[in-house]
Structure 1
Amino acid sequence: MKIYGTKVWMAIIILLALYTTANCQVAQTPPMGWNSYNCFGSAVHEDEVKANADYVANNLKQYGWQYVVVDFLWSYDNPVGSTIGNPFQKQLEDGSYVPWLTMDKWGRLMPQPTKFPSAFGGNGFKPLGDYVHALGLKFGIHVMRGIPRQAVWAKSPVMGTNGITADMIADTSSTCPWMNHMYGLNMSKPGAQEYLNSILQLYASWGVDFIKVDDISRPYRTAEIEGYEKAIAASGRPMPLSISPGETALSAKDHVTKHASMWRMADDFWDNWEMVLHMFNYAKSWEGTGGPGHWPDCDMIQIGKLSKRGPVGPERYSRFTEDELYTHMNFWCIYRSPLMLGGNMPDNRELELKLFTNAEVLAVNQQGENPKQLYKQDGSMIWVSNVQGSKDLYVGLFNIGDNAHDVVLDLASLKLKGSVGVRDLWKKTDLGSFKKKYTQKLNPHASVLLRLTVK
């Protein structure tokens, strides 16, 4: 009996070690995929998710794009064709809420069947997750931090506990300033971790591969972030943990790099050049914090058809100029931000497809190392990173001014000696060899990505 017990414990230790090793492998490179928010707000429907998944599988998967993420309020009842509308709930005299979010008896939110018909009958997101997986892709969801207020009102029991209910673990003083669906969790209360464990267990049963937790980075919710991390581990299914929105406090740098896979540096990013300029500053502040398993996040890529159903501005193709579109991609790649496409993929034109399918450019994001700002002055900016397993360098030259001018790369500042080969990654063309400097005239807000090789 004693020997049998030892064998059991050894098996448990081995399984835990294997799981820990697997869990450490999430987000070893910046995650790449599609997210529904920028084109559909809170009102994306199942057929639209499938259409975008089909596009990613048919056109982008071979270039490394893999996640399909359902964002924002999938348990909220948006009628077909509606915009984001008003996501607030109204509390009635008896304390109940309208509209009533789709929720199970354990206080766990479920997909709204009017938006996700395959969820009918308590199926949750499993059928949609299965569809995405059958395409060779990975499935992700967005959630709001905490526990539904309606679960607190209903005193829903917490799965995995003996007599603990939602009202006993909620922190009713901890609320989201821009939506009233949730209360925070008091992680010091018995049952709070069990509640998070129960929702992550549910998500794992649906086949969720990626979780984005909102209203948790600003202000920075240390205990709840650790709670989600523990719940993912307990679920037995590795998932990158993405936290938002920014601005994440720099004072949380040591904690966030240990406990989150990606974190938003700024508030929501949209197709506005001033926001690009601000993002350069945020990125500089977080320089040096990215690495395997933990990535500062510039937010989603605003390229393609946006705001088809809210949330910001009219339906449109990105307002960025073509030069700005390339700069958008170039900076997100050289900085090694996660790459989450925000447009409606079936509406892509030849330009969007070109921007998303250059293997040499995407390698800068996936295989670069230690990106850093080399220079920023007089309307010019230069970022550089190391090419993995090579002495080569990736370099981004940016004209961040409003007039065309030369951007000059001083090769000596990179400690490169002798003849240096320069390759334009978008044109996939070798531009020649240079010894002291490389100069390129760039249009306003334009940029170029290069690979330098010492001859």
Structure 2
Amino acid sequence: MNKINLLFALMLVVSSINMNAQDGTEAEFRKWALTPPMGWNSWDCYYSSINEEITMANAKVQQRKLLKYGYEYVVVDIRWYANHPSHGGGRYNEDNPDCQLDEYGRYIPSPMRFPSGFKWMADAIHRMGMKFGIHIMRGLPKCILDNPSVYKLKGAEDISWDKVYTSTKPECMWLKDNLTVRNNEYGQLYYNSIVDLYAEWGVDFIKVDDMSRPYAAEEINMLRKAIDQCGRPIVLSLSPGKTAYDKIDDLHQKTNMWRMMDDLWDNWPSIKNVFTEADYWSKHHQPGCYADCDMLPIGQIGMTVYDEGYCKADSGRKSGLTEDELRTMMTLWGICHSPLFIGGDLTMMDQQTLRLLTNEDYLNMHAYGVEARQISNEEGRIQWTSIDPETGDRYLALFYTDPKTSTCILASVTDNTGDSNVYESSNFMIDFTSLGFEKGQKVKVYDVWDNGKLLGTFSGTELTQTVKRHGVKLLRLKPERSGKNSLRLQTSAIGNGNFLITATINGHVDEHSYVKFLMDGKFVGSVKVEPITKKAVYHLYKPTKGKHTFQAFYSGTATTPSCRQIKR
């Protein structure tokens, strides 16, 4: 590398973090979630009554049936620290929950419900090749006040607890377990201490409740610092929603996930309400940071574990969403890059649910699609699109929700029926030119939810699709392309153990061209090609010693083909 090029490379390395990129310059914590997190969470199926036996039974099914598709997190939800957390369903026992603390005033798992402890559970789940997550409430356990002299603040054992909390009155309106933590050195010490404990257990994911509505900016900042100092990558998820739109910059700087909605359940109005929020947040999407539509209320949900004297057993219910509504939910979550956390009991999962969760083309769109956005919303007919950065194919989702839901029109798909109020389905005539294809260009169309069935080859406005009310069609559009593109992949050292991985395109580039980078077979980022230099650059910081294999996939353009190269 000559002197001028080296100087240019070093300038790239020391420049400020690029919040919009997935080119290796993004903040380190965002690399812990290169694609939207996926897994299972216990809340929808067992509320606060979950226990070790049920968790591990679900983990075993998850490993066997879902892990290879990317569902890697096993998350124990709320009140795992209480011996008697529930009065049934979503009703909390706040009178005598018998919360468990260690000597430093930190919650520890209920020995009655989790007798092996979270260190054992995390180790067991890690041996299965998966990751372990927990739910926590914002703040400091209120039960410390019952006998404050028994507990010591780790790192400042002589300090009284009133230096840590702001008030003896909990601020959370729906669960009074915790007190707000002061934004001072002692508050930071407390957050450091709990995250250090979770790191010792082997926790990989923390869902923090009562954090994003109302938006607890000071405690979010303390928690970000606590995670960054603990020495373990831990994905940070905020709850509940609705998260305020004006917090977007802070969210991007400090969190991996935040809820766009309040708790979502298995009814159509809940699903329909997500469309507006998903449309807004998609305009602000940045890799490693994900607006969360909430868990998937799919399968068997709403159960309660028996606890004598506190709550009766409840066998729950099967999700109240129809097959069409379930497919609509999955499609919207997938195309807008929401995290996917299954809410139903996996030990009771049927084949229909399994097929819905494991469609590989759908999961490719969810993980890797770029430029995801809503392109029209007209009288309940809603269309979304995204691009596969590896192939240049386009995904198109056609939703028919309810008529007269919106008047915002930016049509790339036009309707050719009469008054939608009187129809249980709607016909969509697809205009391929409005999706970026050339006039007369042939496009092969595949139905993603119908096992990738080829519907035929079309151009112009030749294709019409019928969508049931509350239903969806998810299509992969594969254009016929001509010409030739090639890709040259280079690696260059730039000092301090850092490297640039540069993909140079010999051929055609447009404003929607991307290079998808893999290192040792694992995805590391999709980078937009700079149209003048025809380059896409990935910054690799201090890789492990040894030989590494890099792969680059160029999407091509709407009219010219994709290509790839491997460099060892």
TM-score for both structures, normalised by structure 1: 0.89
Matched position secondary structure for 2:106 = coil
How far 1:219 sits from its partner (Å)? 0.7
Alignment of 1:163-182 (within 5 A): 163-172=158-167, 175-182=171-178
Identify the range of structure 1 (384-393 vs 400-409) with the bigger mean alpha-carbon deviation: 400-409
What is the CA-CA distance between 1:104 and the residue it aligns to?
Answer: 0.7
- Greater shift after overlay, 403-412 or 346-355? 403-412
- Cα deviation, residue 85, structure 1: 6.6
Unpaired segments of 5 or more residues in structure 1?
1-17, 91-97, 120-124
Could you say which residue in structure 2 is the equivalent of 1:132? 125
The residue aligned with 1:151 is 144
Q: Which residue type is aligned with residue 300 of structure 1?
A: M
Aligned pair partner of 2:428 in 407, 410, 415: 407
- Distance in 2 separating the partners of 1:165 and 1:133: 38
Residue pair 1:245, 1:267 contacting (<8 A) in 2 also: yes
- Alignment match of 1:421 (pick from 428, 444, 466): 444
Give yes or no for the alignment of 1:294 onto 2:299: no
Give the number of the structure whose alpha-carbon radius of gyration is greater: 2
1:395 alignment partner, SS class: strand
For the residue of structure 2 that corresponds to 1:291, the secondary structure is coil
In structure 1, the residue matched to 2:97 is 99
1:335 matches 2:336: yes
What are the residue-to-residue correspondences of 1:192-207 with 2, within 5 Å? 192-207=187-202
Amino acid across the alignment from 1:416: F
Report the secondary structure of 2:455's partner residue.
strand
The 8 Å contact of residues 30 and 289 in structure 2, kept in 1 or not, is answered as no
Deviates more, 1:241-250 or 1:427-436: 427-436
C-alpha distance in structure 2 between counterparts of 1:157 and 1:165, whole Å: 8
Q: How many residues align?
A: 422
Kept in 1, the 8 Å contact 2:87–2:93? The answer is no
* Residue identity matched to 1:115: R
Corresponding residue number in structure 2 for 1:114: 112
Ranges in structure 2 where 5+ consecutive residues have no aligned partner: 1-23, 306-310, 404-423, 481-568
Alpha-carbon displacement from aligned partner over 1:131-162 (angstroms, at most 9, x marks no partner): 11111110000000000111244333210125
Q: CA deviation at 1:197?
A: 0.4
The amino acid of 2:282's aligned partner reads E
Deviation at 1:174, TM superposition (A): 5.4
Give the structure 2 partner of residue 216 of structure 1. Answer: 211
Paired with 1:162 and 1:139, the residues of 2 have a C-alpha distance of 30
Q: Cα RMSD (Å) of the superposition?
A: 2.0
Distance in structure 2 (CA, Å) of the matches to 1:330 and 1:133: 30
The DSSP-based 3-state class of the residue aligned with 2:229 is helix
2:467 maps to which residue? 442
Match of 2:241 among 218, 237, 246: 246
- Alpha-carbon deviation of 1:306? 0.6
Is this contact kept in 1: 2:170–2:177, CA < 8 A? no
Q: Deviations over 1:198-244 (max 9, x none)?
A: 00000000000000000000011111111111111111001110000
Say if 2:298 is the partner of 1:303.
yes
Shift of residue 389, structure 1, vs aligned partner: 2.9
Amino acid at match of 2:98: W
8 Å CA contact 2:133–2:205 kept in 1: the answer is: yes
- Structure with more contact order per residue of length (Cα contacts < 8 Å, sep ≥ 6): 1
User: Could you tell me how far apart the structure 1 residues matched to 2:36 and 2:52 are?
Assistant: 26
Alignment partner, residue 15 of structure 1? none
Distance 1:214 1:398 in 2: 32
Per the alignment, residue 88 of structure 2 pairs with 83
Is contact 1:22-1:238 (8 Å) kept? no
Match of 2:475, SS state, is strand
Question: Secondary structure, in 3 states, of the residue corresponding to 1:292?
Answer: coil
- Does the CA contact (< 8 Å) of 1:147 and 1:166 recur in 2? no
Structure 2 residue matching 1:170: 3-state secondary structure: coil
Superposed structure 1 runs of 4+ greater than 3 Å apart? 20-24
Q: Counterpart of 1:70?
A: 76
Alignment CA distance shift 1:366-1:153 (3 Å): same
Contact 2:396 2:477 in 1 (8 A): yes
Shift of residue 358, structure 1, vs aligned partner: 1.0
Aligned match of 1:358: 359
Contact map agreement 1:152 1:167 (CA 8 A) in 2: no
